[in-house]
């Protein structure tokens, strides 16, 4: 690794998804080349590399899912398909010169604070030393597969939606999908017309919002290619539209929430069969769980060869799934669309702090950080997308840009020799998290449903205010919240 100027810190970034690429780009813009990006996969892209299931599409409008400094004219629809997003991040990594800094198939399993620096151990047996570690691992990383009795007896084929097996033929088969989150909804719409029989095993129905998906005309794409500012302007408009409507509703604006509820209900009213509609109607408030975006799901689940199964699964047999009503649902292929370990920020990793404390033990009662980014007792360790990040009410690209800008304040100070280490004060961290817990009481996320926004104690682990407020909170650090050492 290039040693660089005397005060230029050595930095290790963990993850080459959306946030890791962004972090690398900002370091290069700052003139810092003493960094490495360690990625456990074989290429950049994160969840958009790993997920390749049929129907994969982003629920955020494409221009709003782009970096603000790199508008993209190529999007073929208002909402981008998965492969387009992967190609976009590959383009950004190439354009901004990240290739020399990327290390693929490099899984970090231990990070230890010793001798005033971090030691990073990877599965290949190598040890790296760094002044700063930035975790950009994301939330949709480790698939969560259901523990169902008898799975090993199934004679068909099965896999998780995030590990799609493209060698398995689905056409003309009896296919079952377990789950009713965003992935399951998209898969349903993509597969019903291809298979002989489709069974969707639902534990909890989702509120489903129609999107504005439609092809973008070639003339518009061509115009944005010639005049890039138009693509950037489109992203800004899409972001503002989301914040003024969707985000404000989830953050407590009763007027916009009423509109959101009405739109979701109107979409649900497409279901003609009263019994099926009853099964598809959630018993929780709109927004308590992540809202799913789809124009086609309700039409798909009403097709003659489609079936919604709401009886609990009892066990799996060689020929399919047996539900508690005694019925055997015969299947050739079974797909688990059962989500991820979203709130396990350090899964498969051990992080040891300055006094030998294990971060997993520190977080035994729930993950906490200051401003979602810094952790008391773990100097110069920063997290992009850490605890209580605004996952439910903020486009992820905007969230990452806001947090990366915040972290760059400290990195510049370290680079210029003003400080050597930055650590969150425990008192400030406790005060911040207590404020969030109090603010979350009575919000839609605290209204009683089970969602991936909840931590192990069943408490919402999310930011309860508006995106505008979040940007204000992280505009610049309040240095009284930190312990900073120059020696």
For the segment 176-225, what is each residue's pLDDT rounded down to a tens digit? Answer: 999 999 999 999 999 999 999 999 999 999 999 987 778 899 999 999 99
For the segment 431-447, what is each residue's pLDDT rounded down to a tens digit? Answer: 999 999 999 999 999 98
User: Which string of DSSP letters, residue by residue, matches 269-321?
Assistant: TT---HHHHHHHS-SS-TTSSPPEE-SSHHHHHTSTTEEEE-SPEEEEETTEE
Q: How many residues does the chain have?
A: 487
Residue 55 pLDDT: 95
Residue 6 pLDDT: 55
Nearest-angstrom CA–CA distance, 383 and 381: 7
Nearest-angstrom CA–CA distance, 239 and 393: 11
Categorize the per-residue pLDDT at 3 as very low, low, confident or very high, splitting at 50, 70 and 90.
very low
| Element spanning 57, H or E | strand 57-61
**Burial zone of 229 (CB within 10 Å; 0-12 exposed, 13-18 middle, 19+ buried):** exposed
For the segment 47-88, what is each residue's pLDDT rounded down to a tens digit? Answer: 999 999 999 999 999 999 999 999 999 999 999 999 999 999
- Cα–Cα separations (whole angstroms), residue 113 to 117, 132, 423: 6, 10, 13
Q: Which of 128-137, 394-403, 422-431 has the lowest mean pLDDT?
A: 394-403
pTM of the predicted protein model: 0.94
Residue 5 pLDDT: 46
Which of 42, 41, 48 is CA-nearest to residue 66? 48
Categorize the per-residue pLDDT at 451 as very low, low, confident or very high, splitting at 50, 70 and 90.
confident
For the segment 130-182, what is each residue's pLDDT rounded down to a tens digit? Answer: 999 999 998 889 999 999 999 999 999 999 999 999 999 999 999 999 999 99
Contact 381, 133 (CB under 8 A): yes
Categorize the per-residue pLDDT at 1 as very low, low, confident or very high, splitting at 50, 70 and 90.
very low
Residue 34 pLDDT: 97
- What's the average model confidence in pLDDT over 309-337? 97
Contact 134, 382 (CB under 8 A): yes
Residue 209 DSSP one-character state? E
Residue 213 pLDDT: 76
Residue whose structure tokens are 């903020």: 394
Q: What is the mean pLDDT of the chain?
A: 94
- What's the average model confidence in pLDDT over 95-102? 98
For the segment 234-270, what is each residue's pLDDT rounded down to a tens digit? Answer: 999 999 988 888 889 888 899 999 999 999 999 999 9
- Cα–Cα separations (whole angstroms), residue 331 to 175, 302, 308, 334: 6, 19, 14, 7
Angle at the Cα of 186 from the Cα atoms of 240 and 206, rounded to 5 degrees: 75
Higher pLDDT, 248 or 343: 248
Categorize the per-residue pLDDT at 456 as very low, low, confident or very high, splitting at 50, 70 and 90.
confident
How far apart, in Å, do the first and last CA atoms of the chain sit? 24
Side by side, which strands form the sheet with 127-130?
A: 127-130, 117-122, 108-114, 350-352
Residue 148 pLDDT: 95
Residue 381, pLDDT above cutoff 60 = yes
Residue 348 DSSP one-character state? T
Alpha helical stretches, state H, 14-76 = 18-29, 47-50
Q: What is the largest CA-CA distance in the chain?
A: 71
Contact 387, 359 (CB under 8 A): no
Strands (E), 105-252: 108-114, 117-122, 127-130, 132-135, 157-160, 174-178, 197-201, 208-209
């Amino acid at each position: 690794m290039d040693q660089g100027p005397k005060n230029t810190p050595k930095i290790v970034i963990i993850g080459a998804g959306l946030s890791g690429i962004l972090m690398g780009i900002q370091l290069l813009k700052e003139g810092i080349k003493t960094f490495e990006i360690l990625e456990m996969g074989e290429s950049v892209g994160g969840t958009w590399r790993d997920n390749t299931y049929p129907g994969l599409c982003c629920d955020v409008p494409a221009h709003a899912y782009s970096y603000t400094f790199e508008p993209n004219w190529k999007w073929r629809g208002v909402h981008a398909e998965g492969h387009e997003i992967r190609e976009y991040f590959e383009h950004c990594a190439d354009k901004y010169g990240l290739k020399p800094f990327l290390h693929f198939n490099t899984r970090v399993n231990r990070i230890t604070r010793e001798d005033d620096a971090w030691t990073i151990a990877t599965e290949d047996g190598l040890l790296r030393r760094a002044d700063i570690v930035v975790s950009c691992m994301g939330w949709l990383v480790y698939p969560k597969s259901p523990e169902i009795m008898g799975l090993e007896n199934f004679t068909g084929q099965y896999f998780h939606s995030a590990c799609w097996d493209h060698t398995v033929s689905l056409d003309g088969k009896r296919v079952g999908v377990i789950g009713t989150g965003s992935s399951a909804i998209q898969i349903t719409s993509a597969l019903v017309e291809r298979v002989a029989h489709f069974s969707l095993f639902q534990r909890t129905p989702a509120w489903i919002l129609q999107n504005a998906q439609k092809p973008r005309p070639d003339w518009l794409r061509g115009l944005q290619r010639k005049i890039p500012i138009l693509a950037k302007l489109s992203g800004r408009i899409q972001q503002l539209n989301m914040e003024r409507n969707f985000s404000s509703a989830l953050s407590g604006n009763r007027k916009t929430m009423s509109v959101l509820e009405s739109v979701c209900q109107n979409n649900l009213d497409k279901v003609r069969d009263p019994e099926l509609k009853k099964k598809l109607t959630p018993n929780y408030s709109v927004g308590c769980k992540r809202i799913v975006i789809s124009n086609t799901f309700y039409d798909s689940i009403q097709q003659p060869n489609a079936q919604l199964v709401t009886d609990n699964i009892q066990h799996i047999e060689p020929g399919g799934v047996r539900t508690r009503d005694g019925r055997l649902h015969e299947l050739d292929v079974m797909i688990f669309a059962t989500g991820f370990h979203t709130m396990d920020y350090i899964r498969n990793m051990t992080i040891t702090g300055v006094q030998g404390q294990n971060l997993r033990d520190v977080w035994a009662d729930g993950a906490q950080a200051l401003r979602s980014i810094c952790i008391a007792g773990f100097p110069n360790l920063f997290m992009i997308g850490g605890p209580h990040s605004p996952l439910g009410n903020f486009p992820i690209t905007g969230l990452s840009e806001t947090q990366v800008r915040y972290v760059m304040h400290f990195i510049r100070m370290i680079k210029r020799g003003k400080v050597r280490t930055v650590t969150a004060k425990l008192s400030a961290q406790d005060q911040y998290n207590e404020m969030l817990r109090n603010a979350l009481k009575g919000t839609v996320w605290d209204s009683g449903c089970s969602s991936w926004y909840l931590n192990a104690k069943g408490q919402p682990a999310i930011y309860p205010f508006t995106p505008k407020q979040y940007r204000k909170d992280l505009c610049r650090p309040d240095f009284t919240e930190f312990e900073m050492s120059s020696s």
